[in-house]
Amino acid sequence: MSSNTFPSIILSLGIVTASFLLGKSFENYQNFGRFVDVKGLDEKIVKSNIATWNLSFTSANNDLKKIYSDISSSQQKIIHFLKKQGFDDKEIEIQSISITDSKAQSYSNENANAPRYSANSQITLTTNKVDLASLATQKTGELVESGVVLSNSYMRYAYTELNSIKPEMLTRATANAREAANSFAQNSNSSVGKIRKANQGVFSITAANSNDQYGDEGSILKKVRVVTSVEFFIN
């Protein structure tokens, strides 16, 4: 081999390698500039795992001692009722008693026949026994019959296990986005490549039935929804 042959081979290999790298760079540049941005949707119906029941009750009397006695009696009746339904002490929280003196309200229009004192309090039940709680709300009449004056009875349901279903929902939403990208690619005689960029979007939790008269909080069944934004390379 002559002294000029070896450098010629090196030069040729260099040209071939440079041409290959240049071609790949151009290909990558083209691919980088060709992508489609699509949305992916997934929805899942889940059951609430936490129920919170607020029971507010009142009493009115001219005798302050009697009003405390009435409120304390109502507290005990509600606690007894809840335990009878199958709930534990740790699930029951008693709120403080609030007393209002009508004569101390300078702006009030005093009614001579109205009791001077009014009192209110609240008991809150927080439990993971959602079915039991739902059933208990249908028996509130028992409290009224026992003499408890309920001013408000409101049940809220919540789903707190979102993290456990996020991965599977994101997987399905991404698959849904790829289907949309495939539909676009077929119409343009192209094929869908790898993901260029993805945004998981925001998870929302609403009532399973959007027409639920009690709103999102009053529904045991919830609809979890996520919309992802995914960019796919188009080949």
What pLDDT is attached to residue 115?
86
pLDDT in tens, the chain (235 residues): 555 544 444 444 443 343 333 343 334 434 445 888 899 999 999 999 999 999 999 999 888 899 999 999 999 999 999 999 999 999 999 999 898 888 776 555 556 678 888 999 999 999 999 999 999 999 999 999 999 999 999 999 999 999 999 999 999 999 999 998 888 888 778 888 888 888 888 899 999 886 654 557 889 999 999 999 999 998 8
SS3 136: helix
Q: 10 by DSSP, 3-state: which?
A: helix
Looking at the structure, tell me whether residues 147 and 56 fall in a common domain: yes
Rounded to two decimals, the pTM is 0.75
Q: Are residues 88 and 147 in the same domain?
A: yes
127 and 184 in a common domain: no
- Which domain CATH number covers 210? 3.30.110.170
Find, among 126, 58, 121, 59, the residue nearest to 94 by Cα: 121
178 lies in the same domain as 154? no
Query: CA 95, CA 127: separation in Å to the nearest integer?
Result: 17
Q: Which structural domain range is residue 181 located in?
A: 34-47+161-234
Does one domain contain both 197 and 129?
Answer: no
> So what's the pLDDT on residue 112?
61
Residue 229 domain flag: yes
**Pick from 28, 101, 7, 36: nearest CA to 63:** 101
- The count of structural domains within the chain is 2
The whole-number pLDDT of residue 106 equals: 55
Does residue 123 share a domain with residue 172? no
Answer whether 100's CB lies under 8 Å from 30's CB: no
Residue 121 lies in a domain: yes
- Residues 83, 59 within the same domain: yes
Strands (E), the chain: 35-47, 50-61, 92-94, 98-101, 117-127, 150-158, 192-199, 203-207, 221-234
Evaluate whether 119 touches 67 at the Cβ level (below 8 Å). Answer: yes
Residue 203 lies inside a defined structural domain of this protein: yes
**Does 55 share its domain with 136?**
yes
Per the DSSP assignment, residues forming a β-bridge with 35 are 233
Distance between CA atoms of residues 33 and 76, nearest Å: 71
28 within a domain of the structure (yes/no): no
CATH number at residue 117: 3.30.70.2970
